[in-house]
């Protein structure tokens, strides 16, 4: 390995005592490949196993914690105890290759596909449709809110029983936790909406339930939180809102925060100066209090190193680890020039990509750079 890349391979020990052997994270990516009953199939296990020998941490695709929270076709589940054996197979496949296995837990809210949830009924913080589909969700009752909070705790218990090393709460990308926090999607007037403090109630109660369950783990167990720092709508979340969220999450003593970005170097829209990137602002304000995972369009060893040297402890790679599962090993061997940053239409079998994900890749022009 060339000496300049050593920072990517430094070990790290979290505050709870868990250690990882490098600073590379496999980002959570929806694979759309589960069995119809929500269990993990053999080809998806092979996909994760193929990519778990290099990163220090692998964060799985999101799993739904409630039956009415299933967001995608082919999403695997953690909503019942019957899912534990399936989840154990996944945790074992990742950990057997050397990575720490983190289960991302999720409720899609109004972003779910109607045909995947009971009675085709979408639910959310308020009866406000998202712009993409115009479907008006039903506003959750307080009893239902408390039930979903409990579901996050139960999914965490199942993750522990399945042998995972931690969970990542999915509070990003416009899903239910973000729907409660955003003033664009939460116009409630009860204890679950209105002020910033009240809109934060649901995400923070979810964190509390997850941490309570995590405390029962027999060994150190990570609890992270993924969030999107801004929303494009003028009335949506801004960087200032994200600062309120991060401050609250730090008070909850989470193990890490994962900033969901399409472009690692993107600059703020609203609520902060655009003199530097969003990630730079988070690092400047909070790096002494909690470790961050940064993500967004990084492909080469040089790009990942530049991002790491900006002050972010962990660098997550998503599409790049699909295109080149040996990314980490090539850098360690001094062959970073051989890293592959495109796909060909003949690559599915060679790269061990399950059919659901391969279909999504090939039917979404521009998502991946695909050559003939």
Angle of helix 142-162 relative to helix 201-214, nearest 10 degrees?
30
Count how many domains the chain has. 1
SS3 106: strand
| pLDDT tens readout for residues 186-232 | 999 999 999 999 999 999 999 999 999 999 999 999 999 999 999 99
Q: Tokens 């729907």 label which residue?
A: 179
Active site residues: 175
**CA–CA separation, 290 and 188 (whole Å):** 31
How far is 135 from 144, CA to CA, in rounded Å? 20
Inform me whether the pLDDT recorded for 18 exceeds 80.
Answer: yes
User: Is residue 372's pLDDT more than 80?
Assistant: no
- Tell me the backbone φ, ψ of residue 196, rounded to 5 degrees: -55, -45
20-75 confidence digits (pLDDT tens)? 999 999 999 999 999 999 999 999 999 999 999 999 999 999 999 999 999 999 99
pLDDT tens column, 251-295: 999 999 999 999 999 999 999 999 999 999 999 999 999 999 999
| pLDDT reading at 133 higher than 90 | no
Length of the chain in terms of residues written: 372
Nearest-angstrom CA–CA distance, 20 and 102? 12
* % of the chain residues with pLDDT over 70: 100
Give dist(CA 286, CA 147) in Å, integer: 32
Q: How confident is the model at residue 132 (pLDDT cuts 50, 70, 90)?
A: confident
CATH of the domain at 98: 3.20.20.70
Q: Determine the structural domain holding residue 13 and report its residue range.
A: 3-371
Q: Cβ(212)–Cβ(155) under 8 Å?
A: no
Q: What sections of 65-221 are H helices per DSSP?
A: 84-95, 142-162, 176-181, 196-199, 201-214
* Rounded Cα–Cα distance for residues 223 and 348 (Å): 33
Say which range, 66-70, 148-152, 249-253, 368-372, has the weakest mean pLDDT: 368-372
pLDDT value of position 94: 98
* pLDDT score recorded for residue 124: 98
Residue 248: closest CA among 303, 295, 190, 201? 201
Closest CA to 184 of 236, 131, 244, 132: 236
Q: What percent of the chain has pLDDT over 90?
A: 97
Rounded Cα distance, 197 and 253, in Å? 18
CA dist., res. 319 & res. 323, Å (int): 6
Q: Please report where in the chains the tokens 């409990």 appear, as a residue.
A: 150
| 19 bridge partner residues | 13
| Cβ-based neighbours of 326, under 8 Å, separated by 6 or more | 54
Q: Name which of 1-10, 124-133, 263-272, 295-304 the model is least confident about.
A: 124-133
Residue 5 tokens, joined: 């890349």
Closest CA to 27 of 170, 178, 181: 170
- For β-strands 57-64 and 100-106, DSSP reports them as parallel
Full-prediction pTM beyond 0.85? yes
What is the spatial distance between Cα 237 and Cα 95, in angstroms, rounded to a whole number? 36
Q: What are the residues facing 167 on neighbouring strands?
A: 103, 223
pLDDT band, very low/low/confident/very high, at 334 (cuts 50, 70, 90) = very high
Look at phi and psi of residue 173 and say left if phi exceeds 0, alpha if psi is from -120 to 50, else beta.
Answer: left
Strands 19-20 and 12-13: antiparallel
């Amino acid at each position: 390995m060339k000496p300049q890349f050593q920072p990517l391979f430094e070990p790290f020990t979290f505050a709870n005592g868990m250690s990882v052997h490098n600073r590379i994270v496999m980002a959570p990516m929806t694979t759309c490949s589960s069995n119809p009953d929500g269990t993990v199939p053999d080809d998806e296990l092979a996909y994760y196993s193929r990519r778990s020998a290099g990163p220090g941490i692998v964060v799985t695709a999101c799993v739904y914690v409630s039956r009415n929270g299933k967001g995608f076709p082919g999403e695997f589940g953690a909503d019942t105890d019957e899912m534990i054996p399936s989840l154990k197979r996944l945790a074992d496949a990742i950990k057997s290759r050397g990575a720490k296995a983190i289960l991302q837990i999720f409720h899609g809210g109004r972003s779910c596909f109607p045909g995947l949830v009971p009675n085709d009924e979408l639910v959310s913080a308020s009866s406000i449709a998202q712009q993409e589909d115009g479907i008006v969700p039903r506003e959750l009752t307080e009893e239902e809110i408390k039930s979903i909070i409990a579901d996050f705790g139960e999914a965490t218990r199942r993750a522990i029983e399945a042998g995972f090393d931690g969970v990542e709460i999915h509070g990003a990308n416009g899903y239910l936790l973000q729907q409660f926090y955003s003033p664009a999607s939460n116009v409630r007037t009860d204890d679950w909406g209105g002020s910033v403090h009240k809109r934060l109630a649901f995400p923070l109660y979810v964190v509390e339930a997850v941490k309570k369950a995590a405390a029962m783990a027999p060994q150190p167990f990570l609890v992270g939180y993924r969030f999107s720092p801004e929303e494009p709508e003028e009335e949506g979340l801004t960087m200032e809102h994200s600062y309120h969220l991060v401050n609250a999450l730090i008070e909850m003593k989470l193990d890490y925060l994962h900033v969901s970005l399409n472009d690692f170097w993107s600059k703020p829209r609203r609520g902060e100066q655009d003199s530097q990137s969003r990630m730079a602002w988070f690092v400047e304000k909070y790096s002494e209090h909690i470790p961050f995972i940064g993500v967004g369009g990084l492909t080469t060893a040089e790009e990942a190193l530049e991002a790491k040297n900006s002050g972010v402890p962990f660098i997550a790679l998503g599409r790049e680890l699909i295109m080149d599962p040996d990314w980490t090993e090539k850098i360690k061997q001094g062959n970073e020039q051989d890293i592959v940053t495109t796909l060909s239409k003949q690559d599915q079998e060679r790269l061990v990509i399950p059919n659901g994900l391969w279909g999504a890749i090939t039917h979404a022009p521009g998502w991946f750079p695909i050559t003939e």
